Structure 1
């Protein structure tokens, strides 16, 4: 894995976006409605194919009830990753890498957009969506505590299934 500028993101409108471009899109989205209720969510999902494994990390900024802006990053491992813990751990590592690009300075820049409007109800939260579930029948339930602790240690609110829709739904769509 490489430096921030080597990370490329895409969505239906744009290809080959740098993280700086992604961040400026998020800033623009939030500045268009500084009174909004924003959730910045990052999550990764994976899919094992015949000779490789695809990982998709989604970044979604949602203004609850007023739209979203989103993009993905694709990462391919040139082998079948059949061990569930290894795959989930790499999913979380890829999410952590993107979360870490939102430095304190960048997070403060986003918070400062809504700060003058807090008393009018504006909000901002950052979430890490983990594609695991705590249900007894869920194969990933054994990893919940470990993965949730990793997200919390980064100062990000962890979300697991069914609330981890950036990983389990948005990113999942692009792993096929």
Structure 2
């Protein structure tokens, strides 16, 4: 389990593998796309967090979703050794962690994914890239609504990834969320 001081040691896992660095993750993604390159894909990065006693646990998920035909995903856990008291700080950190991972998956890396599907674009193949923000826009339902536009603007400024919020932000609000519940041992 990582603490914030070891952010540069990016290690991802899923139900069948652990200790995946970002090169390994990219290899799995390319292999997954290459298995069926005629499909439509969403490449999504999203982070969720949960406050626990003495720390806040952040989980960043990476998902390559073959629309209607399954997905490959992995996640990374990170602990900030303090509780966060501001919703804005929580959202800003979640967005920053997603952006940091997305920085590895830059235009050159995304082009490698696109190269696999390029011969099949006239048969429906496509790749869309997203950063999921674990925030909603309904002010009555979501305390995060006040900060949605700020986080959306941050993702938009990257230029390569489209921001998504709840209810569409499944990489953050569903996939990453499932791994935030258990307390980490620091």
Range of TM-score over shorter length: over 0.9
In structure 1, the residue corresponding to 2:68 is in which secondary structure? coil
Match of 1:37 in 2: 40
1:145-156 matched pairs, under 5 angstroms: 145-154=149-158, 155-156=160-161
What per-residue deviation string (whole Å, max 9, x for no partner) do you get for residues 41-79 of structure 1?
000000000111000000000001111000001110011
Match of 1:115 in 2: 118
- Cα distance in structure 1, aligned partners of 2:113 and 2:6: 25
- Cα distance in structure 2, aligned partners of 1:117 and 1:3: 37
User: Unaligned stretches of 5+ in structure 1?
Assistant: none
Go from structure 1 to structure 2 and tell me whether the alpha carbon gap of 1:83 and 1:22 turns closer, same or farther (over 3 Å shift): same
1:144 maps to 2:128: no
Go from structure 1 to structure 2 and tell me whether the alpha carbon gap of 1:3 and 1:88 turns closer, same or farther (over 3 Å shift): closer
Once the two structures are TM-superposed, the CA of residue 136 in structure 1 deviates from its matched residue by 2.0
Match of 1:162 in 2: 167
Correspondence for 1:126 among 107, 124, 129 = 129
Once the two structures are TM-superposed, the CA of residue 3 in structure 1 deviates from its matched residue by 7.4
1:75 maps to 2:97: no
Q: Which runs of 4+ in 1 moved over 4 A?
A: 1-4
- Cα distance in structure 1, aligned partners of 2:121 and 2:44: 20
Once the two structures are TM-superposed, the CA of residue 113 in structure 1 deviates from its matched residue by 0.6
User: Unaligned stretches of 5+ in structure 2?
Assistant: 182-186
Using structure 2 for the length normalisation, give the TM-score. Answer: 0.91
- Cα distance in structure 2, aligned partners of 1:124 and 1:103: 14
Q: Is the 8 A contact 2:117 2:126 kept in 1?
A: yes
In structure 2, the residue corresponding to 1:59 is in which secondary structure? strand
Aligned-residue RMSD, C-alpha: 1.1
Aligned length: 175
- Cα distance in structure 2, aligned partners of 1:41 and 1:74: 17
Match of 1:92 in 2: 95
What per-residue deviation string (whole Å, max 9, x for no partner) do you get for residues 10-64 of structure 1?
0000011010000000000000001011000000000000111000000000001
Match of 2:180 in 1: 175
